[in-house]
Amino acid sequence: MSDHSRPPLRPESLLAHGGGGIDPATGAVVPAIQPATTFVRDTDYRLVSDSHLYGRDDNDLVRQIESLVSRLEGAADARVFASGMAAIAAVARTVKPGGTILVQSGIYYGTTAWLRKRCAHDGIALIEADASDTERFCETLRESGPDLVLLEIPANPWLTVADLPVIAEAAHAAGALLAVDATAATPLLLRPLDHGADMVIHAATKALNGHSDVLAGIVATRDADTAAWTFVREERHDAGAVLSSFDAYLLLRGLRTLALRMERMCANAQGLADLLDAHPAVERVLYPGLPSHPGYEVATRLMTGGYGYLMSFLVKGDAATALAVAGRLTLVQRATSLGGVESLIEHRHTIEGEVTGVPENLLRLSVGIENLDDLVADLTGALTLTAR
């Protein structure tokens, strides 16, 4: 069978080979790290390689990641950034002073806080609205006529799931660009471009890398010929929010195991959600894989392969109770971030509760790849004293 007649590779195979396969020049199965920032010209001042002028935009490892993510997302093009927030910022900056941004409320507070500061500084109207109420959100969208609509699916830390196709239709009818932060889903569970989004954003720091050792961000687009995408490309190049060669190497290495990690993480998360949902010391579990979750129907319709690795749960009690539960954990680590191979727990009220209204008894749990029985034992042991 010729290469041209082979069916397209499935995501697991693309990821396992880093989207690139063997280096034809050396036969290496692992791509090399090229640390150079500049490249020589010949005696006639022509570039030795037409695609290598300066390291800020000419990095083969970064290009390989962009190609891989484009294929995973069904995107026309993608760009890697130095962090998830750099990726968010590039998309938000497509809106000029005097414009309007409609952002989903109850999302990652770093995004909300930066948008508030940036919009106030640049004279941009910022509207925050609950996207879990689809009808009201779309009404706000029609009334405000935003330049950009920004969603996060699933949302962090509330795990709400916006009805993307309905909102996409309303956004495009209003002439708005729709971007979706799908960090908590990855392309394996949700492909926002397939459901009407114009751009998809990932904090690759999280599950895409998966090892808590790289800061990176990615933006992918459905249409590479728009003015907005031209701006994002130029913003990455001109403003310089680029990834180093070593970090690109680590990110590509992490991506190779994404499918296996997500399979285990989603299975673990579902198992823990079921356990916590029935535990007498738990008031409520926020996880879209539970039929009792308000976003279960939408998540089931949009997501494939699982409901993600992220959840929150509210213990019965106050802040002291929640902190005591977190303090008794020995396997699950108390730390910020999410999407790594290790399970992490965070008391979000300590971080942002005074300004966002996150309940003082809420704990956010990022589920890793550990043995599920060990995670169950750790959480059950930490909750047992609370239940008494």
Task: Read off the pTM.
Answer: 0.95
Q: How does pLDDT run across 68-81, given as a tens digit for each residue?
A: 999 999 999 999 99
Domains of the chain (ranges plus CATH)? 8-255 (3.40.640.10), 258-387 (3.90.1150.10)
Q: What is the mean pLDDT of the segment spanning 178-190?
A: 98
| Catalytic choice (71, 108, 261, 348) | 108
Categorize the per-residue pLDDT at 4 as very low, low, confident or very high, splitting at 50, 70 and 90.
low
- Burial pattern 118-129, b for ≥16 Cβ within 10 A else e, equals bbeeeebebbbb
Residue 15 contacts residue 259 (beta carbons within 8 Å): yes
CA 164 to the chain's CA centroid: 16
Q: How does pLDDT run across 288-328, given as a tens digit for each residue?
A: 999 999 999 999 999 999 999 999 999 999 999 999 999 99
Task: Identify whether 56 is a catalytic site residue.
Answer: yes
| Catalytic choice (71, 191, 206, 236) | 206
| Catalytic choice (60, 77, 181, 247) | 181
Task: Identify whether 373 is a catalytic site residue.
Answer: no
Pairing of strands 77-81, 100-104: unpaired
DSSP bridge pairs for 311: 365
Closest to 324 in 3D by CA, of 367, 266, 382 = 382
Task: Identify whether 274 is a catalytic site residue.
Answer: no
pLDDT at 272: 98
